[in-house]
Amino acid sequence: MTTKVGLISLGCAKNLVDSEIMLGHLRSAGMELTADSAEADVLIVNTCAFIDSAKTESITAVLEAHRDRGLHRRRPDQRLIVAGCMSQRFSTELTGELSEVDAFIGLDQLEEVAPIVRRVLARTPGTPPEDLVPDHLPVYIPDFDTPRWRLTPKHFAYVKIAEGCNHPCSFCVIPQMRGKHRSRTIESIRREAEQLVSEGVKELLLISQDTTYFGMDRWTEGRGPRAQVTSARGENLIDLLEALSSVKGDFWIRLLYTHPAHWSDELITAIARLPKVARYVDMPLQHIEEGMLKDMRRETSEAHIRGLVTRLRAGIPNLAIRTTFIVGFPGETDAQFDTLLGFIQDAKFDRMGIFTYSQESGSRAAKMPNQVSPAIKKSRYRKAMATQQKVATQRAAALVGQKLRVLVDTPTSARTEADAPDVDGKVILTSPLTPNEFAEVTITGHKIYDLIA
Ligand code: SF4
């Protein structure tokens, strides 16, 4: 009988691509995928451990899977595999704590998932979990022909251009889970893009921990944490954007997760002249105040960021900038928060997300004195969001009456070039349009974050 496997994917788009790769390998091995976790022989939970709440969500998902098995909402002999960032980082501890799990696997084992599924099926039920996570940081990176079963709608796909991160941000534990930055080759990514566009994809979302660092890991010199994207040093993001722009077809290339330290005028000019690259930049800034940036070890400065936002807007007409900030980082004073609030007011970001600081064990910031109380974090979060809501409302109102090109997600909902799926707003369509296609619409109204057309 064919083995049936179900998978619960948690966390970010990078984890989603890992899920897609595991599903691709399971299918190549002749296994059946099921969206009904109750009928799966083996259930895989692909976890996230970015912040504490993500860890809690991951553990809850694992425990729920086990509880449902006990309550016979799922097959009692169903096996459970835990994959992803949480497993990579905490498998040693979790093996002792989550006896309901059959195996913990790491980020380097995406391509070994089918033999691992067979291995857990052969286990005697009730035996203690196996910790199969290798004893080193991950080095894996996919290729253009890596089997993949896409979980996104037909018209957009995430393309992982690199993996890992070389930055030392003091609040972040991602490099401890995902390892050093390693870029794919341009040829590998171009071939993947060609395939995706030929399958009807209209939007390629380029992702990694730091997309601006693309190619720099192969440079022989000058590839430090403040290195700027330049063709003088070697293959870089500009070469990749040019190669992807040469793929035939009508599609957007969207750049997610860029780091402010690496932006250069050369990159700005390149985006301005490449029409397939969406006029959209996702650039998590985390803070603006000099002392905070230093304590966060962001390897950039207030002056650089302020100048960069101005240069981006001047260099790329109609650009939408998306950013995220952290409030309540250890030691953040009222005055430092007010500087951030003023910046949010003045810079008028098109899209913005706020995180309250989360104290991650194993990070430098977790050991810092002057941790900010939850009440202050919450109040700063509310103030920052309220400030941005005013900005967002003004920006949306300014678009009323304009004709915009949109990508239609469902008959009644679309996105402009300024909106990435899942994280940004949408265009609510008053008359239905054909999904998965581009269309031109006239904006007739707005809500806070969404437009009406
Ligand atoms: S750039 Fe900083 S926040 Fe982003 S993944 Fe790297 S270390 Fe973490």
pLDDT at residue 213 is higher than 60:
yes
Can you spell out the DSSP letters for 316-378? STT-EEEEEEEES-TT--HHHHHHHHHHHHHH--SEEEEEE----TTSTGGG-S-PPPHHHHH
Q: Is the CB of 165 under 6 A from ligand 1?
A: yes
Express each pLDDT in 285-298 by its tens digit.
999 999 999 999 99
Of all helices (H) and strands (E), which one includes residue 206?
Answer: strand 203-207
CA of 182 to the centre of ligand 1 (A): 14
User: Residue 46 contacts by C-beta under 8 Å, 6 or more apart in sequence?
Assistant: 7, 8, 9, 10, 11, 15, 18, 19, 22, 83, 84
Q: Is the CB of 167 under 6 A from ligand 1?
A: yes
Torsion of CA 294, 213, 144, 246, to 10 degrees: 130
CA of 288 to the centre of ligand 1 (A): 16
Which pLDDT does position 38 carry in this prediction?
Answer: 84
Which residue ranges form the domains of the chain, and what is each CATH number? 4-131 (3.40.50.12160), 156-395 (3.80.30.20), 403-452 (2.40.50.140)
Give mean pLDDT, residues 137-147. Answer: 96
Q: Is the CB of 210 under 6 A from ligand 1?
A: yes
Residue from 107, 169, 262 to probe ligand 1 pocket by mutation (most atoms less than 8 Å from CB): 169
Q: Does the pTM of the predicted model rise above 0.85?
A: yes
- Under DSSP, the state recorded for 94 is H
Kindly report the protein residue whose alpha carbon is nearest to atom 2 of ligand 1. 169
The answer to whether 4 and 40 have CB atoms below 8 angstroms apart is yes
CA of 33 to the centre of ligand 1 (A): 33
Kindly report the protein residue whose alpha carbon is nearest to atom 8 of ligand 1. 172
Quote the tokens at residue 368: 């810092």
pLDDT at residue 72 is higher than 60:
no
Kindly report the protein residue whose alpha carbon is nearest to atom 4 of ligand 1. 209
Residue from 50, 107, 210 to probe ligand 1 pocket by mutation (most atoms less than 8 Å from CB): 210
pLDDT at residue 74 is higher than 70:
no
In whole angstroms, what is the distance from residue 355 CA to residue 66 CA? 31
Express each pLDDT in 304-343 by its tens digit.
999 999 999 999 999 999 999 999 999 999 999 999 999 9
User: Residue 399 contacts by C-beta under 8 Å, 6 or more apart in sequence?
Assistant: 443, 446, 451
Whole-number average pLDDT of the chain:
94
Evaluated on CA atoms 29, 33, 39, 43, the torsion sign reads positive
In whole angstroms, what is the distance from residue 423 CA to residue 168 CA? 25
Express each pLDDT in 86-116 by its tens digit.
999 888 888 888 888 999 999 999 999 999 9
CA of 165 to the centre of ligand 1 (A): 6
Amino acid identity of residue 448, one-letter, is I
Q: Is the CB of 208 under 6 A from ligand 1?
A: no
Q: Report the Cα 146 to chain-centroid distance in Å.
A: 20
Give mean pLDDT, residues 247-273. Answer: 98
Express each pLDDT in 432-445 by its tens digit.
999 999 999 999 99
Which pLDDT does position 30 carry in this prediction?
Answer: 97
- Identify the CA nearest to 19 among candidates 137, 138, 160, 190: 160
